């Protein structure tokens, strides 16, 4: 570990992706403060080497506590991450994802924070017509969550235009991230976690639509490497990058791959179908040339290996599913 006295504020650092990023940053010698309201995040995820402020990005007093001492870098991952819950309560999604981001940006401005990275999403593309989808494809979200992630991403970009506050920003449009610490018992989570949870509990797997819709699954360690590498890489300043595996996997293929992890197949394990869900997108596949060039980044962990690690984690940690 290289000594590094800069402080990073990781909002959402008790959550799935944020907690892994905290681990990566501590490994690289940064000091880390976590701001999280423990809505979906859990205290046990937070590395003991990090300072923890229990607080809400909608509350400016909580944010003020997290900015004392002032961070050198903000990694803003706190968010309402469920597409389905955003349909059920768009106002809550708007408040956390957009107003929360504006609050963080205004604190960054007040404290003259020089660097900020933001957790955007592939959901901003809606149902893309270009596959694999490059960052230059139009943003036309088809679900509330995609609207709020895009609005926040644009607010982040606009904050970087403020002549009175030099702020270097980078947004990562992450595709379907998976790995240990992902909630496997939360029906509002992504499809891979839901399938793994069902298989672990021995419950039937339900495929919505015909199962030929595709997703791009990327392992959480690969994601954190890109975030951490970007912090000091000026070519990433002022830009947005896709972070995906660059490979499309259909939900049918995913189901079969999950069952393989348990030595099962559709003749031995019950798989049913149901209608498509609101705001479901048909196809998703990241073009990753931009991040490959800027950060010499390539995903290292494929779907099978990443799932094996996730299953091993779930089995080792009681009450995860």
Ligand X SMILES: NC(=O)c1ccc[n+]([C@@H]2O[C@H](COP(=O)([O-])OP(=O)(O)OC[C@H]3O[C@@H](n4cnc5c(N)ncnc54)[C@H](O)[C@@H]3O)[C@@H](O)[C@H]2O)c1
Q: What whole-number distance in Å separates Cα of residue 48 and Cα of residue 108?
A: 25
> Least distance from C-beta 19 to ligand X, angstroms?
8
> Least distance from C-beta 205 to ligand X, angstroms?
19
Going by C-beta distance under 8 Å and a sequence separation of 6 or more, which residues neighbour residue 150?
120, 124, 139, 141
> Least distance from C-beta 231 to ligand X, angstroms?
17
Q: Smaller CB distance to ligand X: residue 18 or 126?
A: 18
Q: Are strands 168-174 and 115-121 parallel, antiparallel or unpaired?
A: parallel
Going by C-beta distance under 8 Å and a sequence separation of 6 or more, which residues neighbour residue 314?
180, 184, 196, 200, 320, 321
Reading the block at residue 235, the tokens are 């070519």
The length of the chain in residues reads 321
> Least distance from C-beta 175 to ligand X, angstroms?
7
Tally Cβ neighbours within 10 Å of residue 315.
11
Q: Would you name the residues annotated as active-site residues?
A: 145
- How far is residue 264 CA from its own chain's centroid? 30
Taking a C-beta distance cutoff of 8 angstroms, is the pair 243, 174 a contact?
yes
Tally Cβ neighbours within 10 Å of residue 43.
11
- How far is residue 153 CA from its own chain's centroid? 13
> Least distance from C-beta 21 to ligand X, angstroms?
9
Q: What is the DSSP string of 117-168?
A: EEEEEGGGG-S-SSSSBPTTS----SSHHHHHHHHHHHHHHHHTT-TTS--E
> Least distance from C-beta 82 to ligand X, angstroms?
8
List the one residue out of 287, 7, 306, 313 whose CA is nearest residue 132: 287
> Least distance from C-beta 190 to ligand X, angstroms?
6
Reduced 3-state DSSP string for 204-225: CEEEECCCCCEECEEEHHHHHH
Taking a C-beta distance cutoff of 8 angstroms, is the pair 242, 134 a contact?
yes
Taking only Cα atoms into account, the Rg of the chain, rounded to an integer number of angstroms, comes to 19
Q: Smaller CB distance to ligand X: residue 26 or 77?
A: 77
Q: Smaller CB distance to ligand X: residue 99 or 264?
A: 99
Q: Fill in the DSSP letter of residue 111.
A: T
Footprint of ligand X (CB under 6 A): 12, 14-18, 36-41, 56-58, 77-81, 96, 100, 119, 121, 174, 176-177, 190
């Amino acid at each position: 570990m290289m000594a590094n006295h800069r402080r990073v504020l990781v909002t959402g650092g008790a959550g799935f992706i944020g907690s892994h990023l905290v681990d990566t940053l501590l490994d690289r010698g940064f000091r880390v403060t976590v701001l999280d309201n423990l809505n979906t995040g859990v205290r046990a995820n937070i590395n003991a080497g990090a300072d923890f402020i229990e607080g809400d990005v909608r509350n400016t007093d909580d944010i003020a506590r997290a900015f004392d001492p002032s961070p050198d870098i903000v990694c803003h991952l706190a968010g309402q991450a469920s597409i389905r819950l955003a349909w059920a309560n768009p106002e809550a999604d708007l408040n956390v994802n957009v107003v929360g981001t504006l609050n963080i940006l205004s604190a960054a401005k007040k404290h003259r924070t020089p660097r900020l990275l933001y957790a955007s999403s592939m959901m901003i593309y809606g149902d893309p017509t270009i596959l694999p989808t490059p960052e230059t494809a139009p943003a036309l979200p088809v679900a509330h969550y995609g609207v709020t992630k895009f609005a926040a991403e644009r607010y982040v970009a606009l904050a970087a235009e403020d002549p009175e506050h030099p702020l270097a920003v980078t947004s990562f449009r992450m595709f379907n991230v998976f790995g240990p610490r992902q909630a496997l018992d939360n029906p509002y989570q992504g499809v891979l976690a839901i399938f793994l949870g069902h298989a672990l509990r021995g419950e039937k797997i339900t495929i919505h639509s015909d199962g030929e819709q595709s997703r791009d699954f990327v392992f959480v360690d690969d994601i954190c490497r890109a975030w951490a590498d970007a912090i000091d890489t000026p070519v990433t300043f002022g830009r947005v990058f896709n972070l995906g595996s660059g490979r499309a996997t259909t939900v049918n293929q995913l189901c079969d791959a999950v069952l393989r992890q348990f030595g099962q197949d559709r003749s031995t394990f019950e798989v049913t179908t149901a209608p498509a869900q609101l705001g479901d997108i048909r196809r998703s596949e990241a073009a990753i040339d931009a991040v490959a060039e800027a950060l010499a980044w390539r995903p290292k962990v494929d779907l099978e290996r990443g799932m094996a690690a996730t299953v091993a984690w779930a089995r080792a940690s009681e009450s995860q599913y």
